[in-house]
Amino acid sequence: MRITIIGTGYVGLVTGVCFAEMGNKVNCVDKDSAKIKELNNGIIPIFEPGLKAMVNESYQKGVLAFTTSLQEAINESDIVFIAVGTPQDEDGSADLTHVINVAKEIGKEMNHPLIVVDKSTVPVGTAEKVRESIQTELNSRKENIDFDVVSNPEFLKEGSAIKDFMQPDRVVIGSENENSTNVLKALYRPFTINRERFIQMDIKSAEMTKYAANAFLATKISFMNEMSNICERVGADANMVRMGIGSDNRIGYKFIYPGCGYGGSCFPKDIKALEKTAKDFGYTANILGAVEKVNAEQKKLIVRKITNKFSEDLSGKCFAVWGLSFKPGTNDMREAPSIVIIKELIEKGAKIQVYDPKAMKEAEEHYFKNEPKISYCENKYKAIDGADALILITEWKEFRSPDFTRISALLNQSVIFDGRNQYDKLMLKKYGYEYYQIGVK
């Protein structure tokens, strides 16, 4: 099939390359000419395992192209995916400016029937707004061209997005047009051929499904963090509690790890947007508000443990930080706990020596620009050298089994603050460490 993807961010790029992998002809469009130039030169703006190799291979085969010309792209396509950003607005709602602007441009440029697909995470009712925007532009041109708008929310996890797209748990399509449904079912058939994963529903339900899924996962995280805080106070071990409740197949083990909070481009933004949507329709989403509140406090927990150990004034102290990205497998630092933790430590007078396998450039150029109290280190052991304690924030694989004897020799004090409960406390006790976890007294 002939496909246009509008937006070459995380979702757009992964979607485009995976469709191209199956032999479709894909044009990826972005108004950022510098980004398009880089993509045409094989430079990928985001880190995602396997993405660079797939992009370059499909590009060389001629099934994947990058352009700034929307007119050129959609005139060669039958399906157009909108995959632009929906940043959080000041009132917490999703800002649909980019989505609506794209819809208007489609209406201005289309010259043949199209299926327009909302791939961006958007509030309930957005498809109607996209349809109205396209139709208004067609009316102004006095053109009568058939088109349809459907919803196809993405369920990609950063760090495993290629696998998630190629082997999806489900493909949700919100459509009230039988032809559009059948076209998208055929488009996704290579990804669902082993087992039926195609779920067709009305458009509003599809738009709601994405928000409901992210809200539920965020709720599991905040619930477990709430339990871990209670565990710490009553003398229970949150790690043991996790295993006890996770063995119940109604609950499961995923998303119930105690930690220093969630981040990323989806959960924080989508929780606020869904809460705002509920408010707009006269409903107060109490659970969503609590989830958000617990998460905000959880990001500060490690700092409280550090000040309890040392003091509120951390002047003259140096801390090694392992991990900057909001999760392993990505360089994405949006809403990452590391931002809150590092800023609070610096405000209290501390210096930071940090290492992350992928996100240090992101940190230095965007989140801690020109910050003299942060040193970026070439490996995890360089970050520890001369520090007063190690703080683990992101659970990258290379942090799972470090040389604890070497760490102890490099640190000024054998102290570890573990924001992801990665290590065995009994083993560290044998090494002579002071070891602070989440949810363990």
Instruction: Give the residue numbers marked as catalytic.
Output: 266
Roughly what angle, to the nearest 10 degrees, separates helices 126-141 and 97-109?
A: 30
Regarding beta strands 25-29 and 2-6, do their DSSP bridges make them parallel or antiparallel, or are they unpaired?
A: parallel
DSSP 8-state class, residue 376: E
**Cα–Cα distances in angstroms (integers) from residue 78 to residues 3, 55, 64, 188, in the given order:** 6, 22, 15, 15
Amino acid, single-letter form, for residue 398: E
How far, in Å, CA of 307 to CA of 313, rounded? Answer: 8
Question: What SS3 class is residue 185?
Answer: helix
Residue 152 in contact with residue 206, Cβ under 8 Å?
yes
DSSP string, 276-338: HHHHHTT---HHHHHHHHHHHHHTTHHHHHHHHHS-S--TT-EEEEE--SSSTT----TT-HH
Of 322, 377, 317, 314, the closest CA to residue 347 belongs to 314
What are residue 4's DSSP bridge partners?
27, 80
Q: Which two tokens stand for residue 53?
A: 């190799």
